[in-house]
Amino acid sequence: MRILLVEDHTELQHWLAKALRDSHMTVECADNGADADALLHTQEYSLIILDLTLPKMDGLEVLRRLRARGTRTPVLILTARGGLDDRVQGLNLGADDYLAKPFELVELEARVKALLRRGLGNEALVYRCGELSFDTVSRLFSYFGENLALTPREHAVLEALITNSGRAVAKEKLFGQVFALSDEANLDAIELYIHRVRKKLERGEPGAAAITTLRGIGYLLQPRDAVR
């Protein structure tokens, strides 16, 4: 899951970004409304966490412009402006949730996960491919009944594949889910993580999952038996 975090308080931004990355999410950061608006013109995100009081452009204006373009990406407003009028205005402009500062990290994480599940467009809490499963609540993978140990980028690759199980995912889309714009990586770097995830999925027994490369199309996650 790729998230845009718009927060001008440097320490809070770093703290939140680290917590979200520790939960296996790819995080882009912006510290002013103008930069956030520019990113939202060109990039796709699964969720936007948006402060209201921002330099260069107010958070409500960023939200207004986003919805005016017809973008339905879930938005969680995160702000010290906790007055009723601000909450009502934000929700009326199309925010999906509102969390006032100060807040507990565990509550933020719960709201983020709920909005991400809602944004998937279905009610599935667990995705499966053979004996591989992904729980969207705990955000953990299980393989043959045991937790599957993955690095954050391996996790992002496998999440993108299993939530599109049975459908090919283009290399460009995978790259966007795994790497932030600030990362120094090129498109071919995704092949390294595909290779690493493949090694962790290698099992000889029925129910194993496998990643198939479809030349010129992308990558497909499917039960190993279906590959033969």
pLDDT for the residue numbered 195: 94
pTM above 0.85, yes or no: no
The predicted pLDDT at position 206 comes to 87
* Per-residue pLDDT, 120: 62
- The segments of the chain whose pLDDT lies below 50 read none
Cα dist. 82→79, 103, 112 in Å? Answer: 7, 12, 19
DSSP 187-216: TTHHHHHHHHHHHHH--SSTT-EEEEEETT
- The whole-number pLDDT of residue 175 equals 86
Summarised one tens digit per residue, pLDDT across range 39-86 is 999 888 889 999 988 999 999 999 999 999 888 889 999 877 656 676
Domain 126-227 has CATH 3.40.50.1370: no
Domain boundaries, the chain: 2-119, 126-227
Is 3.40.605.10 the CATH number for 2-119? no
What was the pLDDT predicted at 81?
Answer: 65
Tell me whether domains 2-119 and 126-227 share a fold: no
User: How many angstroms separate the CA atoms of 36 and 147, rounded?
Assistant: 36
> What pLDDT, on a 0 to 100 scale, did the predictor assign at position 83?
64
